[in-house]
Amino acid sequence: MMEFARRNFLYLTAVAAALPAIPGAAVAQSYPIRPVHVIVPFPPGGSTDVVARLIGQWLSERLGQPFIVENRPGAGTNIATEFVVRASPDGYTLLVSTTPSAINATLYHDLKFNFIRDVAPVAAVMRAPYAMAVHPSITAKTVPEFIAYAKANPGRISMASSGIGSGPHLTGELFKMMAGVDMVHVPYRGGAPAMIDLLAGQVQVYFPSTPEVVEHLKAGRLRALAVTTTVRSDALPGVPALSEFLPGFESSYWVGVCSPKNTPIQLIDRLNVQINTALAEPGIKARLVDLGGTALGGSSSDFGRLIESETEKWAKVIKFAKLSVSN
């Protein structure tokens, strides 16, 4: 009798322990049961928007519900992020996060959220380099020659950016910090006007995304001295990586998917598996290469570590450059 009671107790204990997992697993299997909103922090048409729609279409086809891309630009991606942070953590509101998500944590001193604390990483999607592009009036043909010229002419080189605290701006500040050069920062309201003035020779150097500049490089209107990832880019074959001259230099534009904190891990895992499956598809990988990037993938924890390391890196650069912006 005592042995029966003991077995019965152990059985009931095991069942009770399993109960919390059963609803979560059931929810994950049925998810999604209604449309999912994918929030993009930029206007339509840019590379981030294209990536979001590419992944959104895949998820719609595989999971049987529309993944609706919504563009909510403004405040350096903070409007979109705050919207998602305040959303219900039920898997039906997702954020397409990018490099500015890590930059803004230090750049803005009055944010109403803490990105690392208030979002749950789902999956990293893509990483793309910036290019160190110079106007042909700059006689330097290599990075060492450019550094030597900049050191011999402090404050005489104008460095364009798509705005204060943007990826191209911070990449330029990282270059200044690691190369020990002094260049004058000229911020523009977006990448298009910055590129126009670079082409006109009003500024001498700019660190745009590779899709933004590749046609101008092919036409000889600009010269690429390097790409900013640690390895060379398939989008610009023959162009060296800055890390070949400045060991440890790395700056890239990455794109990933996040959800509000406290989203059930079963839903995050379901989305992560589907996104990783998409990134293994040759057609999607080729499309990302067309955008100048490479597929990332990995676990949600891998993406979380990327966000943390990027936040730490850009905090050092922002403090070096003495930058601060109000939201």
Q: What pLDDT, in 10s, does the model give residues 74-83? A: 999 999 999 9
Q: Which domains does the chain have, with CATH numbers?
A: 22-128+253-321 (3.40.190.150), 131-244 (3.40.190.10)
Other beta carbons within 10 Å of 208: 26
Give the model's pLDDT for residue 211: 82
* Per-residue 3-state assignment (H helix, E strand, C coil) for 50-91: HHHHHHHHHHHHHHCCCEEEEECCCHHHHHHHHHHHCCCCCC
Half-sphere exposure for 322 (CA within 13 Å, toward CB): 1
* Spatial contact of 103 and 318, defined as CB atoms under 8 Å apart: yes
Q: Which residue has the higher pLDDT, 225 or 47?
A: 225
Confidence of residue 15 (pLDDT cuts 50, 70, 90): very low
Give the model's pLDDT for residue 200: 98
Other beta carbons within 10 Å of 58: 19
Instruction: Give the model confidence (pLDDT) of 23-47 as tens digits.
Output: 556 677 899 999 999 999 999 988 8
Of 12-21, 25-34, 299-308, which gets the smallest average pLDDT?
12-21
Instruction: Give the model confidence (pLDDT) of 105-120 as tens digits.
Output: 999 989 999 999 999 9
Residue 48 clears pLDDT 70, i.e. is over it: yes
Instruction: Give the model confidence (pLDDT) of 205-224 as tens digits.
Output: 999 988 889 899 999 999 99
